[in-house]
Structure 1
Amino acid sequence: MVRPAAKRDAVAHLRSQFEMSERRACAVIAADRTMIRYRSVRPDDSSLRLRLRALAQERRRFGYRRLFIFLHREGEPSGITRVYRLYREEGLAVRKRRTRRKAIGTRAPILVEAKPNARWSLDFVHDQLENGRRFRVLNIVDDVTRECLASVPDTSISGVRVVRELSALIARRGKPGMIVSDNGTELTSNAVLKWSQDHCIQWHYIAPGKPMQNGYSESFNGRMRDELLNETVFTSMAQARAVISAWMADYNTTRPHSALGYQTPAVHAAKLKAMGPVSPPLRGSELSPIAHTAPHGVTLAETLLSAG
């Protein structure tokens, strides 16, 4: 299908090269004269294009929906349809990274009370410095508010360090109802087991080889990998701590979250606090176990402690 702009160019070419009249040129290419004479009455959008390109350059892994949220915050009256059109015309589409094949099957939702500190999730993500030295980042996420509560980068993070970071976080924010993590050696260490027992905090381990049972933390790690770690060259641990800390603050207070209706986690948390201490469970939840206790055959933390 030939677009109107191409037909206008064809008519102009016939008139200039073969000295045809407009009527005859339109008849040759079967074009309507009204379409050939039409001139766009759209308002000038050069400033919006410039701002959209600047935002896309600043937020390289954001699609048009999140960019529209930022423009709306700045007072831009244009609708999402116009922003999407300019987004496509400017060639700003985000390149999709190759993803893993997803498992097929039904998954039972988890009952989570809709209030802050109802449940935290822990997980590690890895990266390396410019010189090749590897480091890890301990991420702690509130599963309800989707806030990143802590993001701790270091070259080595032991169970004792995990306990120290959790204690400092509880002193600032309060104690969680439960904590979910995988079966990493740091998270199944005696230091962690004793700490959870002393603080009377339920600690649930996901089944081995089932990272989807820790989906909130895995999702956050994916966003961090895509938007920060893959886009940044870290030259030192000091620089890594500063950049990760700034990104965490931006994630909590500025970045719109699609699962929260494009609100920021901080705004969503404030709304939940305003609802009061008693909140209904999240929609779609049902009563089901959080995860299986690991390692296999161990049901009480005291058994691991006694085993040394």
Structure 2
Amino acid sequence: MNRARFTEEQIIAVLKEHEAGAKTADLARKHGICEATLYNWKAKFGGMDASEAKRLRQLEDENAKLKKLLAEQMLDAAALRELLSKMVGPAAKREAVAHLQTVMDLLERRACQIVGADRKMVRYRSHRPPDTELRARLRDLANERRRFGYRRLHVLLRHEGHLVNRKRTQRLYREEGLSVRQRRGRKRPTGARAPILVEAKPNARWSVDFVSDQLASGRRFRIFNVVDDVTKECLAAIADTSISGRRVARELADVIRRRGKPDLIVSDHGTEFTSNAMLAWTQDAGVDWHFIAPGKPMQNGFVESFNGRMRDELLNETLFYDLDHARAAVARWIGAYNRTRPHSALGYMTPAAYAASITATDDRLRNPDQLRRSSVAQPAHLRQSQPVTLASAG
């Protein structure tokens, strides 16, 4: 029979019978147990009375509870040590030490030992200036350009005359809580990509594409974008509810009259670009047109990147009431994009400034006599600050 069916008093009574001279086999048969069980009882409870056996049972229960509590405490301590080991930065450790001193009423030495912090570091107080004006201007710029990170904001601050290094701007940007919320995109397969070779001059290659949005009333409209792949300038952004192939040809002709003819235009296989009107216009204008592979938008990456910036900084941030409002907002954003927005691919120069620098460099290279005269006329330190080099694009 199972030992759990016998209390300590019953076990002591059976052992008393055995001590009185009863045989082991008879006791086992009488109480329905095996002889091994009887010997185990004798080894554990031999020489005890009922009260002592009950006290032993209580001590065993208390010991089991204490073991469980000790195991939980050890697990909690290990988890706390693991958490504190992940705590990085002096500020976080100072807060942890202060919390232990306030809530747990621990001494500073003991709290520092638990957190793993040096007492000198805990007692240190920063003597940095508050930078009130710089913080205020950084917040204003971040509110004006909500999708700009600290790098572009740093460039804007430098243009305004604030002599501050990038790490300081990054620290203030982080302390003010101005981080840009990242929009999650779908995962795309990656593979080997060959660089696109483009001559470093304006009008070497244009990229065209459409981006769509809707008005506050729910009506859809489209924006036809034309981008110079080298200077990153937006040459045209036409917003309308319907843009046909004839309209695309007419707008490109206007851009060519204003800007000059490009060496190549790249697009996808949209119906507007493959229409008879567009095919006739390319033949009449003598413009080379290149269609990317179907389902490969990365081959038209320059204008796709521009469309992403437009959607992130303008379309997702603005509520358009009507088509006129949308056209005016697009025109303002394009003006700021070309003239004031620093572009990371251009060394944080604006597209207009980069185009002007390329044009000036080309003019000097085409006229060696003017280059020699300018090098003689200018002081040495000015000649060193304007190196004659061509920046590769793509």
The normalised TM-score by structure 2 is: 0.66
Q: What's the offset of the Cα at 1:256?
A: 0.7
Give the match's secondary structure for 2:362. Answer: coil
User: Which of 95, 117, 135 is 2:181 aligned to?
Assistant: 95
Q: Which residue of 2 aligns with 1:27?
A: 109
Q: Which has the higher helix share?
A: 2
One-letter amino acid of the counterpart of residue 46, structure 1: T
Alignment of 1:1-308 (within 5 A): 1=87, 3-8=93-98, 13=102, 25-30=107-112, 34-35=120-121, 37-276=123-362, 283=392
SS at match of 1:99: coil
Distance (Å, rounded) in 2 between the aligned partners of 1:142 and 1:178: 10
Distance in 2, matches of 1:56 and 1:150, equals 27
What amino acid sits opposite 2:108 in the alignment? C
Superimposed CA distance per residue, residues 18-59 of structure 1 (whole angstroms, 9 cap, x where no aligned partner): 7xxxxx943342476644543321112222222111111111
Q: Assess, with a 3 A threshold, how the Cα gap between structure 1 residues 274 and 27 changes in structure 2: closer, same or farther.
A: same
Sequence identity percentage: 60
CA contact (8 A) 1:116 1:144 kept: yes
| Structure 1 residues 98-152: Cα deviation after superposition (integer angstroms, max 9, x where no partner) | 1132232112222211100011110000000000000000000000000000000
Detail structure 1 runs of 4+ shifted over 4 Å in the superposition: 8-11, 31-37, 277-285
Mapped contact 2:202–2:231 kept (Cα < 8 A)? yes
- In the TM superposition, residue 155 of structure 1 has moved relative to its aligned partner by 0.3
Larger RCO (CA under 8 A, 6+ residues apart): 1
Residue 80 (structure 1) shift: 1.1
Q: Distance in 2 between matches of 1:58 and 1:284?
A: 29
When the two structures are superposed, what TM-score results if normalisation uses the length of structure 1? 0.83
Long gaps (5+) in structure 2: 1-86, 367-388
Seen in structure 2, the aligned counterparts of structure 1 residues 269 and 54 have a Cα distance that, compared at 3 Å, is: same
Structure 1, residues 147-179: CA drift from partner, whole Å, max 9, x if none?
Answer: 000000000001111111111111111111111
Q: CA, structure 1 residues 281+74, in 2 after alignment: closer, same or farther (shift >3 Å)?
A: closer
Number of residue pairs matched?
277
Check whether the contact 1:140–1:150 (CA below 8 A) recurs between aligned residues.
Answer: yes
Q: Are the aligned partners of 2:201 and 2:359 in contact in 1 as well (CA < 8 Å)?
A: yes
CA distance in 2, matches of 1:225, 1:284: 23
The answer to which of 80-89 and 262-271 deviates more is 80-89
Q: Can you give the 5+ residue segments of structure 1 that lack an aligned partner in the other structure?
A: 19-23, 286-308
